[in-house]
Structure 1
């Protein structure tokens, strides 16, 4: 008998027939009598907003360098061709998304015989079924490879009790794939993204090359004020655009600021951000992520847990600095639009789109439902979002603000 292929996809939403896309896929090759024989997994750039990060744990920043589905389609077919039977937990959901993705690139996925571990195990979530039937579940729930492995182990357990299922599969119709002419991209696993050490931003490298080393004590107040104001504005959307990096280098160079002073200003920004987050003596996941993003953009690479704790301890013993510079400008009367699902919460409740719009309106902003050239602000939960609104805002040069910065600028405390 041919091996079985266990599949799992993570997606931007629940509807494969409209605009939802795959953000991660895994395929595990299983021989019932021998176990897992081979695996394929990769993140997938959905070319749109990533959907519920709170469920699949993936952000736009995680997916921005991932291959598009067209670039992994042939890799996936190599595994799918190995079997005439696809297995999954609520397998119809996974198959429907794969069919939709292949149709987008002009390929019709052949019909497959399927086995649904959810139905075979008596219903319930994958983790619940594994627990009920004594199957160990390793890793994060809603990570494609971990889910596919768990479903494969659950399948093997159930086949010991229902060997007749293999008999049914033995007479299934072979799945015949057409030849794919799509390009092959580099696969990118979730694990490799989590392990990656970010490079020092290009503009920081340019600053290090062009500025004198100087002293951290030799200050140029006016130049530093301009540099600091420009840095604050550049970082409010959680990313540094090329034009912004060029401006930062020019300002620092022309005003004679030493690289040591630039480093001190950068550390000052990070310290102020940490102080604002640590004001209630706890750091939420959203605040931790914002600090990590800022640290990377400021040239400090990714902070270890120990470095983050040192930073927070310094917040407790240092003199309180002015925090109004971070997002403190008056926004009353400006027009604002939101894109994607909010990442922040208030008293443990995730801020819904309706709540976000209500909060903004109560603070005197004009809420817009779409992006036009006249829009003042677009609020994003992830700096690297690829939503249609974000793409349009960048095209028109509209100011983009990272969600935690936006709430802080309005004086709204978020978890």
Structure 2
């Protein structure tokens, strides 16, 4: 049994790699270390291609308008991660890493014997009923970019998953402790990361200028789960007013600021082929872009009231969202 030309790709690779390694070891055929080390982590790559984006798969997919179906399921997340990688490669087709990874993989082989043990797969039950999105799940999908070390970001990504239901199980606590030990976190640094995580939740919750009683109660629960002082909640109540005053001005006050060279993103079906419009934007001195990042100056949408991932991400960043008429009347 061989695996030639295969590159492992995952969102938060170091987390998923541990599960792969364990499952293959149960078959008495461990995964070669090189296979894991030469993998690609789309979460870490987001810092290169999606400056300002959060670490969640949903957040990165929203930046490209990628539909994430059945999130947190193996098949759904894998399919979305594959599309996300393809978008990275479209943004940077000349990146040598793509070829380097494939060349390394094509020269490597796993093993030639069949697994000694057979593990009965666990089939996850499917349901047609979509669960109601909880406040913490919404926040975890919108957290700002974290610029610490890769290992620390992996730890925070584990917190995203563990705190989704506002309950830390013994298994989740064990995973967090193992992750902390692997990256050499002592208690003080772990608490510092917990405080950073909590402040990110607060910033995101307050970004709309409103902090409801339900949100405050949930933040109080997070404080307890993270082992932080309860006094932190006292400083939260005044945050919405601060964020309201720091919001970006509406388009009417800054349309003249869409300067030549600015990044402009298109979404939806326009009256002309997207490639033609992008060519005209380039001729007019603007820079067409395929993903929403904090460096983007304008999102032109076929439907300015769109609730698509790109439009949602643009509004989260305070980027103006305009209709196609604005494109022809003002920019071109």
**TM-score using structure 1 length:** 0.26
Greater relative CO (CA pairs within 8 A, separation 6+) = 2
More strand per residue: 1 or 2?
Answer: 1
| Larger-gyration structure (1/2) | 1
More helix per residue: 1 or 2?
Answer: 2
